[in-house]
Amino acid sequence: EVQLVESGGDLLQPGGSLRLSCAASGFTFSGFEMNWVRQAPGKGLEWISYISGGGGNIYYADSVQGRFTISRDNAKNLLYLQMNNLRVEDTALYYCARDGGYGLTLDYWGQGTLVTVSS
């Protein structure tokens, strides 16, 4: 059974840093591209970052470019999101999501981890 479990969410002040983790199981992690998607309270879904299976290709949304860094450890089946210079508008539930492969999209999602940025 495919499982994605996020962790690391917290309450912090603007300008702070945080690292989120997503533990994957039930599939060959290195064979799948992964993404982070967030959802602000009461709002819609916003894609924020992508990483290829080997980690060589990475994309970011403009809203986080230069502040967030996606990475993965295929030996440990872990996906990360390093978040720096956090802003109030980064407050959201952060989901990791698996890309199902060629011609497919975000087929499995974790339950999310909450990041709150407030002074």
The residues, ordered by sequence, that sit 6+ positions from 43 with a Cβ below 8 Å of its Cβ are 92
23 vs 61, which CB is nearer to other proteins? 61
Q: In the complex, what is the shortest distance from the CB of residue 104 to other proteins, in angstroms, rounded to a whole number?
A: 6
Cβ pair 93, 113 in contact under 8 A? yes
Measured from the CB of residue 28, what is the shortest distance to other proteins in angstroms?
19
Which has the closest alpha carbon to 92: 62, 57, 116, 76?
116
> In the complex with other proteins, which residue's Cβ is closer, 65 or 85?
65
Tell me how far, at minimum, the Cβ of 39 lies from other proteins, in Å. Answer: 9
Closer residue to other proteins (CB): 2 or 11 = 2
Q: CA angle, 42 as apex, 89 and 96 as ends, to 5°? A: 70
> What whole-number distance in Å separates Cα of residue 114 and Cα of residue 9?
5
Nearer residue to other proteins within complex by CB, 50 or 68: 50
Q: Which residues bind other proteins (CB under 8 A)?
A: 35, 37, 44-47, 50, 59, 61-62, 95, 100, 103-112
